[in-house]
Amino acid sequence: MASRLVSLAVMALLSSVACGGNPSATSPTPSPSTTASSSPSANPSPTPPANACGAPAITPAASAPALVRASIAYDKASQQFILLGVRDGGTVSETWAWSSASGWQHLAPATNPPARTWGNMAYDDATQQVVLFGGQSATPSGGALNPLTDTWTWDGTNWTQRAPAQKPRANVFMSMAYDADTQSVIGVYDDASARGTETWEWNGSNWAPLQAGLRPKYPKQQAGLAYSTVPAVLVEFGTAFGIGAPAADANTWTYAAGLWTPHAPSAATPRARSAPAMSQDTGGGILMFGGAGSGGTVYGDTWSWAHNAWQKRSPSTSPSARSGAVMAYDSNCGKVLLYGGEVSTQVTATYLKDTWLWDGHTWTKV
């Protein structure tokens, strides 16, 4: 831990020196191809200007990503959102970047991770890299789309596969968020056989299981997870329906100092749901949107969590009801970006590919 703290301090110093430079005003040209280039990236991830927090650029639908069940994280180092995913029925990964100054841009890194849906992603503040783990393969193997167990990092220009000495078992849904207290990425996923969860920590080079006390109850597939500063805890909310659990979990769970703490639901808290979009909020708490209830119900409500309490928000404009949207917090501009989601039944799925920005009060489609 001490070496990680020193590393974080050095990176912060280097970052502050770099911010004094004059970044290029030239944006890369979006790649017309969905295949990964075998040569070094011709359009590396752009570095937007430090004042790129004005009115957001509106990306025409024809130039926006059309990805399903994607993953997102905010890359603080380059001050942009990174989106990874595949098109509906596709077998090739696409990497996209979004900033207020430029809108969506299709990047062409030298290497893309293998195609997947439901990849798990978070920004590691200590190493200044985006971390990707697992998900579900988009390429059939043995007649099935199998869960993955690979780890990748994004350095602002390219993806690199990592080779940790140990790692979580292959799984599709592992909620991930950066924990500022431990300066590490925390991942949480189901251990169905024990009807509990496993908590894992990424320290920049390796995964390690944490022996957390009072684990959240099974099932937690597709639960939302995000870091709050008021108070300083990780917040998890969400459950899964119809997979043999005794009941849906409507508790809000917080994690700090190696201990999970349940917060019982009330009439003033959100209903139990799977696949809500969650991120840090503009005031330091947590923002949550949508999700799916039992029987295929989808929600279009917006909630904030701070000081151990939920508050239902009433924005003047809002995305349509959906589950499975992905969301991340821009700590530079103090805004939240939401992408995609779906409305699904047991036989069909309607995928949404729109982008919304939350400013602390309302949603704006961008």
Q: What's the rounded Cα separation, in Å, for the pair 124 and 102?
A: 24
Per-residue model confidence (pLDDT) at position 109: 98
Give pLDDT tens digits for 236-267.
Answer: 999 887 655 556 788 999 999 999 999 999 99
Q: Are 199 and 236 in contact (CB under 8 A)?
A: no
**Quick check: helix, strand or coil at residue 3?**
helix
Q: Are 95 and 78 in contact (CB under 8 A)?
A: no
Sign, Cα dihedral of 74, 300, 276, 266 = positive
> Residues near 12 by Cβ (< 8 Å), separated by ≥ 6?
none
Beta strands in 216-285 (DSSP E): 224-229, 232-237, 252-256, 259-263, 277-280
Q: What's the rounded Cα separation, in Å, for the pair 9 and 251?
A: 36
Q: Are 360 and 306 in contact (CB under 8 A)?
A: no
Per-residue model confidence (pLDDT) at position 10: 38
Q: Are 286 and 309 in contact (CB under 8 A)?
A: no
**Segments making up each domain of the chain, as ranges:** 67-365
How far apart are the two ends of the chain, measured CA to CA in Å? Answer: 40
- Quickly tell me which residue has 């503009």 as its tokens: 282
Q: What's the rounded Cα separation, in Å, for the pair 96 and 159?
A: 12
Spans of the chain, pLDDT less than 50: 1-3, 5-48, 50
Q: What's the rounded Cα separation, in Å, for the pair 190 and 175?
A: 10
Q: What's the rounded Cα separation, in Å, for the pair 14 and 37?
A: 30
Q: What's the rounded Cα separation, in Å, for the pair 65 and 69?
A: 12
What count of other Cβ atoms lies within 10 Å of the Cβ of residue 136?
19
Q: In what order do the strands lie in the sheet with 309-313?
A: 277-280, 286-292, 298-306, 309-313
For domain 67-365, give the fold.
Neuraminidase (2.120.10)
Per-residue model confidence (pLDDT) at position 19: 38
Per-residue model confidence (pLDDT) at position 246: 54
Distance of CA 155 to the CA centre of its chain: 16
> Residues near 212 by Cβ (< 8 Å), separated by ≥ 6?
199, 255, 258, 259, 260
Where do the H-state alpha helices sit in 264-320? none
Q: What's the rounded Cα separation, in Å, for the pair 231 and 306?
A: 7
Structure token digits, residue 72? 């997102």
What count of other Cβ atoms lies within 10 Å of the Cβ of residue 243?
12
Residues in the chain: 366
User: Per the omega criterion (within 30 degrees of 0), is the bond before 168 cis?
Assistant: no
| Adjacent-strand bridge partners of 341 | 352
pTM above 0.75, yes or no: yes
